[in-house]
Structure 1
């Protein structure tokens, strides 16, 4: 893997593909994340990409408006290679630079993602009303 890079508008179709291909933490309503959402995050240089042999293998983004992790997705063909962890580091750096001392995210309980976050020091906050597990990270 090369060093993560910022996404460009030309990458958005691949981001959408990857988000739709994940095996866990699938969006209950795919229409809840629109092309305009991707445009907003990409236009503000908030999306980090991981590439393997020139192919986009994963991406992550944080939302500086509220200190949440908006996305962390790895193409199933590249799971287990540490890409998510490397991308999450970049997003946490962005959120700290944006002035956040605490970050939040949610994911389906019992998933690889939930285990990743717990293993990286994120504190489980219990189930949310939508059934997802909330996590908190103090920077």
Structure 2
């Protein structure tokens, strides 16, 4: 059984990143976040699963349904046209963490669901040259 995570703390000096490390994007993510110069807390859904309440809080913060975080086409026996309750989506995710799309990044009161490196850079309002400079200094 995967560990369940308690309350997600938010601090402007720390970046919390919720992701699944199965994808190339998930594997590259930490390096990009480190360029911010802030403390980083990586929450890998393959090891630590959020609670249904935490998922609902994140979905509310982002003004989306939990299903927006999921790539349901990767789940056997789930029809894309099916609709489920929020708790059903959490259960599907708990059993299939690899279907999580991108990452959810939180810093202070700023929360974003990102699915590409470009969005990571936009989140911090920096360009790739800025990352290269920071990583070499």
Structure richer in helix, relative to its length: 2
Structure richer in strand, relative to its length: 1
The structure whose RCO (Cα within 8 Å, separation 6+) is larger is 2
Question: Fold conserved (TM > 0.5)?
Answer: no
- TM-score normalised by the chain length of structure 2: 0.30
